[in-house]
Amino acid sequence: MGRRRSSSSSFLSLFIFLVSFTSLPIPSLSSDTDTFVFGGCTQQKYTQNSPYESNLNSLLTSLVNSATYSSYNNYTITASTPQDTLYGLYQCRGDLSMPDCATCVARSVTQFGVLCPQTCGGAVQLQGCYVKYDNATFLGVEDKTVVLKKCGPSIGYDDDAMSRRDAVLGALASSGGPYRVGGSGQVQGVAQCVGDLSSGECQDCVSEAIGRLKSDCGGAVYGDMFLAKCYARYQTGSAHSIYSKAHHDKSTTDGEKTFAIIIGLLTGVALLIIFLTFIRKVFEGPDAYLHAPALENGLMVDYL
Ligand SMILES: *[C@@H]1O[C@H](CO)[C@@H](O)[C@H](O)[C@H]1NC(C)=O
Ligand SMILES: *[C@@H]1O[C@H](CO)[C@@H](O)[C@H](O)[C@H]1NC(C)=O
């Protein structure tokens, strides 16, 4: 008698636990690829409903469309007057899939409308992509102007983290290509050039960014150095994300689904047990346990 009460009340508390657990919102680990990093606009503005505006619209449309199949592209919209000729490019981070690249470029373009209303030129950097347009050409021109420098708080006396950081930055500087990643322990680094640079120019730009990171962000837990045509970033922990989690999203979502299904099954089993316990109580009366020891020690009790 006492045994049955204790086992059914423990089922009940298990059930309550499971229900409150499933009703917790499962955090959506959405990618931070589209998070805003910086933006800038020219002071000069174009007039509304001008050829400039329609050229800009076709330029931005071309950029967004191109980002569905290429991680870098440039466009020139030639007009009858040089002032109305527009140049534009975008560069997605090297690890982005084409759909993520297209989404990122589209988000950047919508940012222009907010940040740079009717300005002749503008540039937006999101975590996953960079987009720039202007009526003065900048295509194929190396530019190492510091656009954004951000150093995290000082790391303190962690020599190990700092030597790892220097090793990661060194590896970034010496590896080739427009997109570079490296890591050691908790330290991660990433560098990206805009695709209009030659490999020599990219190397020069990345070296400059890394040199500035080392000198300006001495003992910082993270550092971001965005130059006009390349950037280098590092982090020594997981707090400041320099990477998108986009490429992990699928497996995380699958894991969450599996988890939700398991919780759902367990809830179902708990409900069934409570139901059976209740039914048995109703139909067999209070002394049923004495007559049905097999059920009491049955499969579901042992299973849970
Ligand atoms: C860009 O367009 C603005 C407005 O039409 C004009 O004043 C400016 O001279 C143009 N710049 C260039 C480099 O053509
Ligand atoms: C711009 O795009 C064209 C066509 O895709 C390409 O041939 C050219 O090299 C690009 N220019 C720069 C500076 O990237």
- What does the pLDDT look like over 245-295, one tens digit per residue? 433 333 334 444 444 444 455 555 555 555 555 555 555 544 333 333 333
CB of 119 shorter than 6 A to ligand 1:
no
CB of 42 shorter than 6 A to ligand 1:
no
Which of the pair, 266 or 198, is modelled with greater confidence? 198
The DSSP secondary-structure symbol of 47 reads P
**For tokens 């330029």, what's the residue?**
59
pLDDT at 141 over 70: yes
Pocket of ligand 2 from Cβ distances under 6 Å: 74, 139-140, 196
Ligand 1 atom index nearest CA of 45: 4
Q: Count other Cβ atoms within 10 Å, centred on residue 34.
A: 20
Ligand nearest, relative to CA of residue 53: 1
Q: How many CA atoms lie within 13 A of 132 on its CB side?
A: 23
CA 176-179-183 angle, 5° bins: 85
Ligand nearest, relative to CA of residue 70: 2
Ligand 1 atom index nearest CA of 85: 14
Residue 32 confidence (pLDDT): 85
**For tokens 């508390």, what's the residue?**
13
Closest C-alpha residue for ligand 1 atom 12: 83
Best probe residue, ligand 1, of 135, 137, 139, 141 (max atoms within 8 Å of C-beta) = 135
CB of 52 shorter than 6 A to ligand 1:
yes
Centre of ligand 2 to C-alpha 205, Å, is 19
pLDDT band (50, 70, 90) for residue 170: very high
Between helix 249-284 and helix 2-22 the angle, nearest 10°, is 150
pLDDT at 76 over 90: yes
Residue 160 confidence (pLDDT): 85
Q: Which CATH superfamily is domain 25-134 in?
A: Gnk2 domain, C-X8-C-X2-C motif (3.30.430.20)
Domain 146-245: which topology? Answer: Killer Toxin P4; Chain A (3.30.430)
pLDDT at 4 over 80: no
Q: Mean pLDDT score of the chain, rounded to an integer?
A: 78
Closest C-alpha residue for ligand 2 atom 7: 74
Best probe residue, ligand 2, of 196, 198, 201, 202 (max atoms within 8 Å of C-beta) = 196
Which of the pair, 243 or 174, is modelled with greater confidence? 174
Residue 24 confidence (pLDDT): 34
The DSSP secondary-structure symbol of 84 reads G
| Domain residue ranges of the chain, discontinuous segments joined by + | 25-134, 146-245
Q: What is the mean pLDDT of residues 60-67?
A: 97
Residue 39 confidence (pLDDT): 95
Closest C-alpha among 187, 186, 179, 244 to residue 206: 179
Residue 192 confidence (pLDDT): 98
Q: What is the mean pLDDT of residues 203-225?
A: 95
Centre of ligand 1 to C-alpha 83, Å, is 4
Ligand nearest, relative to CA of residue 141: 2
Ligand nearest, relative to CA of residue 50: 1
